[in-house]
Amino acid sequence: MLRVNIAIYDISAERFMDVRQPLPQVQINTNFSLTGIEKKGDDSLEFPFVVTISYNPSVAQISLKGRAYVIGEKVEIENIYKENQEKKPPPAVVMQSISNVTFVECILISRTLNIPPPIPLPIISETKSTDKKLGRDYSA
């Protein structure tokens, strides 16, 4: 079984539009890339990564750099390293771990900068009232 630890070592974020102006409709683009793989012994690997969140129009930009530290059985680590040399993608648990940690961090940063978070917000549709007493529908 693999254990994955994520360390972010560089954060860059900037809002380009005046905070007092209302934001236009924006499109949020996420660029997620692993920049390599490093073997750190028989049972561990490091995956340096960069995550960039950009907004269109150019409202803001967030960039995170870090490393995923992967620890596991010697055979499992060897297989991952060999597959990477053959240009195969890393295990899903590595990618999911990196995205979970970085997106939570980006959401916190977006709140600080007062910009839309880099996740799709739920759309609540209007429904007919079913609660006669209050005149509201509380079902989702």
Over residues 86-122, the pLDDT tens digits come to: 999 999 999 999 999 999 999 999 999 988 888 765 5
pTM (predicted TM-score): 0.80
Query: How many C-alpha atoms does 21 have within 13 Å on its Cβ side?
Result: 8
Q: Which domains does the chain have, with CATH numbers?
A: 3-113 (3.10.420)
Q: Give the SS3 label for residue 55.
A: strand
**Is the separation of the CB atoms in 113 and 28 below 8 Å?**
no
Predicted confidence (pLDDT) per residue in 47-97, tens digit: 999 999 999 888 899 999 999 999 999 999 999 999 999 999 999 999 999
**Is the separation of the CB atoms in 130 and 136 below 8 Å?**
no
28 DSSP β-pair partners: 55
Alpha-carbon 81 to chain mean position: 23
